[in-house]
Amino acid sequence: MGLGYAAHPRGGFSSTRRLAAVLICGIVLLGSIESAAEPTQRLVRPHSLVQEDTGKTESTASCSLQEDNNEPSPKKLTMSEISLSATLNCVGDTNQVIPSEKETVCSSDASLEDCKASSSNKLVKLDDLLEPGAAKASISPIESSANKGQKWTMTLERAKLPLTDKHFLVGCAKSEEDKKLKVGVTGDWKCKLPITVKAKSSSVDDNVVTCAYGEDSNKAEPLKVEVSPATNKMVLDCGKAGSLHPEGLTTFCEPGSETLEKCVTKGFEEILPTFVKDWWVPNEGKTSSTLTIPSSGFPSADQKFLVGCVLNETSQLPQEPGGVQRDKLEPSGNKTSSCKVLVTVKAAGASSIVSSNLRGLIVVSGFFGLLGFIADYF
């Protein structure tokens, strides 16, 4: 009579080990799903819509001040998020940068004669035109064996780009001594270079919206923000140049509105029944406001509303030190844009519903998988 041996399943594992492996895998997978089903807002939190620089470029123009050609080449420069430096080469032995003070530029409507006078009201400090510390400028000799003259260079700090497009002039002119030696020679012997500093782009980062108003600061589509039980706050920052809209934020624009200024408004109570105006808390200057929705204030279904920031009418009139407005720093007809923000308020318990459904799916799948394993084994 032969000895009887218990048959082992294929693969060499005992039934106990295989069953234990299945149970362990189920527990680990369930734990992973629970982690993944935590408030999804953390995984899809809106991030900055401003693209990072793929490479910064430098813009350079030159003035050689020849008798028959007193225009810079190129004829104008533009500084922006992707072009943070500008250089003007005033080529020639006695060719000089105008204005002569490195931290000073000329207003966009000035003549170079205006800019050469130290007391001229056409001179503008960079710290007054832009945010203090936003720009660093220098004037230095041109170091070249072939060319002499002066070089003007300005570099912008990306984080401190203006909220509106800015325009100014710099230029080149022959020294007074050199002009005296050229008696009888025709020609202006000076050139001026228009420079535009493009405003920063409006952006949203970690539910903080920062608005700007340059011609290219805003796209046709609004910025997007989500407010959920897991991330129940958002900040709308208009900056000193803008105003919250609709005013006071007790109403909102319909989501499909093309503009903020002429939108159809509704009360927040229509989509958030328990809304009170204290959910929006403005800062002291009322240039920004923070929305906080309490856990009891979330709706039963997702809701959307449109708010934003519009440019103040007087914000394009930079001021002299002491508060006197300079009404000729910006050209008339300067194009601007408004900053629209589409806010989605997630339904109450949306995260817990997703988590519960995922856990239920795992339990059911695991149960039937285990039944199949047992049936195959026995």
Tens of pLDDT along 352-370?
444 445 455 554 455 455 5
- Is 271 strand, coil or helix? coil
Neighbours of 281 (CB within 10 A): 13
Q: What is the DSSP string of 38-98?
A: S-THHHH-----SPPPS---EEEEEE--BTTB---BSS-EEEBTTB-EEEEEEESTTEEEE
Residue with tokens 């325009």: 167
DSSP 234: E
| pLDDT for the residue numbered 178 | 57
Domain topology for 58-197? Immunoglobulin-like (2.60.40)
Query: CA 118 → CA 57, 100, 188, distances in Å?
Result: 33, 9, 21
CA distance 226 to 206: 10
Tens digits of residue pLDDT in 157-216: 999 999 999 999 999 998 765 554 444 444 455 888 999 999 999 999 999 999 999 999
Q: Do 58-197 and 201-347 fold alike per CATH?
A: yes
Residue 284's Cβ-count burial label (10 Å; 0-12, 13-18, 19+) is exposed
The structure tokens listed for 314 are 């007087």
Q: Which DSSP helix (H) or strand (E) runs through 368?
A: helix 350-377
**In terms of Cα–Cα distance, which of 275, 201, 281, 302 is closest to 233?**
281
Q: Which residues of the chain have pLDDT under 70?
A: 1-58, 66-70, 145, 176-189, 315-333, 350-378
User: Going edge to edge, which strands form the sheet with 85-91?
Assistant: 58-63, 85-91, 149-156, 135-141
Q: What are the domain boundaries of the chain?
A: 17-38+353-377, 58-197, 201-347
Q: Which residues are registered as beta bridge partners of 208?
A: 205, 235
Tens digits of residue pLDDT in 114-131: 888 877 899 999 999 999
Q: Which residues are registered as beta bridge partners of 288?
A: 237
| pLDDT for the residue numbered 28 | 44
Please give the CATH number for the structural domain made up of 201-347. Answer: 2.60.40.1320
CA distance 317 to 78: 20
Q: Which residues are registered as beta bridge partners of 67?
A: none
